[in-house]
Amino acid sequence: MNLWSSDWPAPAKINLFLHVLGRRADGYHLLQTVFRFLDFGDTLRFTPRAEGVIHLAKSLPGVPQELDLTVRAARLLQQAAGVRQGVEIELTKRLPLGGGLGGGSSDAATVLLALNTLWDIHLPRVELQRLGLALGADVPIFIHGRAAFAEGVGERFTDVILPSAWYLVLVPPVAVPTAAIFESPLLRRDTAALSPATWRPGEGGNDLEAAASDLYPEVARHLEWLNGFGSARMSGSGACVFTEFATETAAHAAQAQLPEDMKGFVARGLDRHPLFALT
């Protein structure tokens, strides 16, 4: 099998809960959350370039190549490992920008995981996580590769076992900038800490929902509609919202009732990242 001709998945994540416990002196927020991957996401392909150039085949609208997380991830690994080879990255984008599904972070993690193999570097997973954290707080979970209870700024993990589930994920027509949510006066920063050992599925909420719903009424409208099928949650800082179903049939039945002005998708929850076996 020629790995250079393979498709490399970059799955979505959802936050089953997200609490803000406080704020560090450097401005970073102390969080607790549970991450779960979905069998829906972006796809990347890689083509070797001998001259050492890192190039994205097609730039995302409004995102200069030098700021794109996939390009930054490739350059970071190239520099860290002293690699002279370059690469062209082709990204097929399915996850919305500003959706809270970790799209950019997942793409960056897949670049690190894939090029670690394709460039024959083979850095250990913990080292890739360290590099990923420099790109963004959500990157390490995709490299860690297991459903996990996360703490700190989101980089300390305790693996969790989750029941089989399907999710209906709604995509409001807005892109939510994370910084705006964390700067909102509606954001509470004093939620009591939970214990990873005693946390159970269904426990906790999303402390960012109030701020996102206030700033972006479409988030609130989508949450309200989805609450008709169960306890809806916002993922990350938004805008996407989801609810859980025990079966694929039930999730699709709810999706079939979507109003014409709402969009969404059904996905199965994953306990491991599709590229978990790489490192």
**What residues act catalytically?**
13, 138
Among the listed residues 84, 51, 54, 52, the one whose alpha carbon sits nearest the alpha carbon of residue 66: 54
CA of 218: how far to CAs of 47, 222, 258, in Å?
40, 6, 14
Name the token pair of 273.
């990242």
In order, the DSSP letters of 218-275 are HHHHHHHHHGGGS--EE-TTSS-EEEEESSHHHHHHHHTT--TT--EEEEEEESB-TT
Cα–Cα distance between 154 and 209 in angstroms, integer? 18
Determine contact, residues 22/30, Cβ cutoff 8 Å: yes
User: 144 near 157, Cβ under 8 Å?
Assistant: yes
With H, G, I as helix, E, B as strand and everything else as coil, classify residue 12: strand
> Please, are residues 196 and 161 in contact by the beta-carbon 8 Å criterion?
no
Using the 8-state DSSP alphabet, how is residue 146 labeled?
A: B
Cβ-proximal residues to 276 (8 Å cutoff; 6+ apart), any chain: 145, 146
Q: At what angle do helices 125-133 and 69-81 cross, to 10 degrees?
A: 130
The CA dihedral of 3, 66, 94, 161, to the nearest 10 degrees, is 70
